Structure 1
């Protein structure tokens, strides 16, 4: 199945954040890429997602979509309650993780780690939750929502200073700068 281009405004974040960002708001309203199997196919075919999933690729079908939506709901609950985690979201994340494991072995070329899932349709969901655990283990303070209150996107701040505030400087960041400029010039001309 050939899929359409990814229409989302922010792609390329770590897999768990990328999954959260399958919903966004723009001038045309609210969007959700994962409302159907065609949207799932777009997400699964994104080069960044394909790379992050590795061997855990799955068919774009209703079962995979249902399982991915369960993972996204769990991630919503986890990210909303960082650094403390909501019990229901934890239970949901753990239920997804129960469908996969990391198989470790030693080969002549060195240690090997291979992710296994009980059925392929759990692969993308399992990988997204596992990725979130990695981010929380590394720098939970770098998992952030965009500072624009009208934006629902998230990002993982990899900047050196750790001060990133916007999902994208060219989008929400520029809008905030323009708004501040407008307020300054409006105040300046009103007091003249």
Structure 2
């Protein structure tokens, strides 16, 4: 099987849950959805952050894997810009994804171990993204943010020291905002 094409998304490298949300973006050519087909799913699964988050497990890029991912992305989309108390329908959406797996703790001769048990292997990326979102909420929920550009649909997890990141990327939306402010000052002057 030939390697998947290069990832076309403008923002990658975010935590798995945010990376899944960022499979949709807007640019000068319009709206894009990487997960509109199985070929896009193969690109997403082959991206280094996703491979790392999934522990290098060979997940198949097929319709059985795509359906749970789309369900999870919709659930995350319903929750990402909320703060507690969360809407009941949004909570139910994420919990319905989480219901497809669990973490099993056990003792082995080598010591404590944990195993992820899933209804089906096709749920691994979707369930892992849902669990990752819970981790982000537990650690620093205020650091999960939408880009400050009102025309951008991307999100990020702010890991800056001061926690004051505003843009999905300084090279993209941040520079456009700076240029716009500069142009506005020059035209008023």
Please report the TM-score for the alignment, with normalisation by the length of structure 2. Answer: 0.95
Q: Give 2:46's aligned residue.
A: 45
Q: CA deviation at 1:81?
A: 2.1
User: Is the aligned partner of 1:125 residue 2:113?
Assistant: no
- Following TM superposition, by how much is the alpha carbon of 1:17 offset from its aligned partner in structure 2, in angstroms? 0.2
Mapping 1:66-77, distance limit 5 Å: 66-77=67-78
Give the equivalent residue in structure 2 for 1:15. 16
Q: Please say if residues 10 and 21 of structure 1, whose CA atoms lie closer than 8 Å, have aligned partners that are also in contact.
A: yes
1-structure distance, mates of 2:129, 2:69: 8
Name the SS for the 1:60 alignment partner: coil
* Cα deviations by residue, 1:67-116 (Å, 9 ceiling, x for unpaired): 10000000000113234322112111111111111121234554322222
CA RMSD of aligned residues (A): 1.3
1:34 to partner: Cα distance: 0.2
CA contact (8 A) 2:81 2:146 kept: no
Q: Does the 8 Å contact 1:101/1:117 carry over to 2?
A: yes
Q: Tell me which residue corresponds to 1:173.
A: 174
Determine the structure 2 residue equivalent to 1:160: 161
Cα distance in 1, alignment partners of residues 100 and 58 from structure 2:
15
Which stretch has the larger CA shift, 39-48 or 101-110? Answer: 101-110
- Secondary structure of 1:80's aligned partner: coil
Greater CA deviation, 122-131 or 78-87?
Answer: 78-87
Stretches of structure 1 that go unaligned for 5 or more consecutive residues are none
User: Match for residue 84 of structure 1?
Assistant: 85
Q: Within 1, Cα distance between the matches of 2:36 and 2:48?
A: 20
Residue in structure 2 matched with residue 33 of structure 1 by the alignment = 34
Q: Which runs of 5+ in 2 are unaligned?
A: none
Q: CA deviation at 1:54?
A: 1.4
